[in-house]
Structure 1
Amino acid sequence: MPDVHARLSASGAHKWLYAPPTLWMEEGLPDFTSPYAEEGTAAHSLVELKLKYATDQITKRTFTRRLNKFKEDSDWYSKSMDEYTDQHVDLVLEALNERPNAVLFSEQRVDYGKWAPGGFGTADTLIVDDGLLDIWDFKYGKGQLVRANYNVQMMLYALGAVAEYSLIYEFDKVRMTISQLRLGNLDTFEISLPELLAWGDDVVKIAADHAINGDGPRDWDNPQTWQFYKAMGFDKSLAEYNLKIRKYKFKEANTLKPEEIEDILDQAPRIRKWLDAVEAYATKQLFDGHEIPGYKLVEGRSNRVITDKEKAAAILEKAGYEDIYRPKDLRTLTQLEKTVGKAEFSELLGDLIDKPTGKPALVTEDDKRPALNSIAQAIKDFEED
């Protein structure tokens, strides 16, 4: 059984809600990470710090010390991040100030285990008061517009917040706001408490049970089920779904109808991403020593690089070469080699030229390049040394 405490997450809810078996398929696979995610985490930390100071949860001295440390330590801090987080904080405070008796919680853990066993998440901001539960979700990314309308991640946060605070406050409705200011997106959605609780009972509970047991339907038409699916490269169900497109080769007519072209184009984003995932999975399998019939890994192409551009420029200038610069940088290695001549270029800068090892590339077995970790590759490496 997968670790449901870690897997029935709010951020991954689209997968286990609408394709429950993906919970099992992803078990043990590493999480996706990217520079964009790291930047978003930094921005969230800055928002949390500013909100705590604005609501008197920390002193000015503590705020200044932590802010200076954040600016010094973070690789992502910028004036732009400062401005966008200020704008977001101002919007949240405006909502808070409209309700004199409300209390704000920042980066609050919420537990919705009543509906999804072991499920929990961290809500960016909660504003709680009798009548209305207000949830704010700060999105710093600018790649994909996020909507609040029946946003399942925020609805799970809402269930957790209701479970946490309903003994103290009497909620009638929940208001959820996506704040994605880098895309000019401020989107709000309201839902009544009875509708939210019915969704928890009729949708979340059933999907969570399916996910834990590794069964249930898979809605592959919903991009949220496969957009960040870690098992995409080897899920047989998804492969069979994508390969249904083969039906068009059995058509009697020689040309596709417009509506058939539309159908193919609608499926293209999912199929392209799936093919990339299958290739990445096959590459990993071969790299780990497994076999994929008809395929092998070879060393991919790589470009030569100048390891010390300042030193290279000094050597070329001393040798009498002047036309070695672009407007803001040294000219490319290829351009310099043409200017100086291959022989003299090698003599002058040979010690400063490096050719990194190319990344493993997946090719068919009839490719003439030797397979990585093969005897032919070992001989090639020995000859180069």
Structure 2
Amino acid sequence: MIILEFKAYGKTSQYSAIDEAIRTVKFIRNSCIRLWMDNKGINNFDMSKYSKVLAHQFPFANELNSTARQAASERAWSSVVRFFDNCKKKVPGKKGFPKFQKHCRSVEYKQSGWKLSPDKKSITFSDKKGIGRLKLKGTWDLWRFDKKQIKRVRIVKRADGYYVQFCVSIEVNEQLEPSKLTIGLDVGLKEFYTDSNGNSEPNPRFYRKGEKRLKFHQRRVSRKKKGSANRKKAIDRLGRHHLKISRQREEHVKRLARCVIRSNDLVAYEDLRVKNLVKNHCLAKSINDAGWYQFRKWLEHFGKKFGRVTVAVNPAYTSQNCSECGEVVKKSLSTRTHVCECGCELDRDHNAAINILKRALGTVGHTGTWVLDPVNASGDLASTVLGSDQVQQAESLNEESPRL
């Protein structure tokens, strides 16, 4: 599956119709959550049937395409499934009990309710919401794909306008010549990452650089009267600046991940729990600004695309252990140089990157993303799911997201 995104252009009345469709999706999703809370044993089929009942009861819900109503009920069911999965896996802390959605920014259609123009430069939504024809602007060519390959179409509202996303059922695999190189990566706050060869990539700190301007726009929002048009304009300006920073961070990690994957046959990195790391309020802003989770996500994506091996190892003691003799050399975060009695003297991050690579080399010959337990290196390997604190079986199948 690949996602193609285009900027959508239309009239003010069309944008209002999209907003109304998004509000309807939020209403159906929250109503399905209420149905699940009030009735024991509700499943996804019951929620799908209930979306049809809502269409008969409320005229504004009937105006939305039937597949869009079904997609809204699927969103509700996905939140329920995620809650049950976290309970079964005994995830520490809150399990993510389904809540009523306050802000919704997208409406999703399946394979009906929309029609592409012959030149694939515009799309027409045919439900009774009145969205109509929207012009599309982007760099991807939709004419390369058959309409049957487009499984979902989503309209997304962002701070700088509206976008149309196409979920295309196609496998993108590229075969590269073996580079005969392996590398270990240690991410940090001083440098974005340091590899096992001693090379480092500077941390751009996009949020820190744009923080002054963000504070300016935030003050503008605070000074405006609540509910006024000027306050809404100020909020839009603030949102656009936040969106710019997030896009800068995303493109930066995507570029680095693609370069690293294409240049090496095996890439090892730390299996960090960013969700737990940001609980440190002294470093939370810097950790979120670095974008470690996004970097790992793109490493795994490009690893699968280009047929490279990506290995996530346990980060425990990678900074404390000596990469030469293996002895533990305790050091604080302020100590940036690793000095061991065996004569090894390296940069702290360089030493950690070598340890990460050494731990990962035990998985040579296995493809996919793996987590290696250094305590029981001879045991079975297991893959880990992004955003989860639990380890799953390595042989588990890939499942399509219910929201795409």
Identify the structure with bigger relative contact order (alpha carbons < 8 Å, sequence gap 6+). 1
Higher helix share: 1
TM-score range, shorter chain: under 0.3
Specify which structure has the higher proportion of strand: 2
The structure with the larger Rg is 1
Q: Give the TM-score normalised by structure 2.
A: 0.24
User: What is the TM-score with the length of structure 1 in the denominator?
Assistant: 0.25
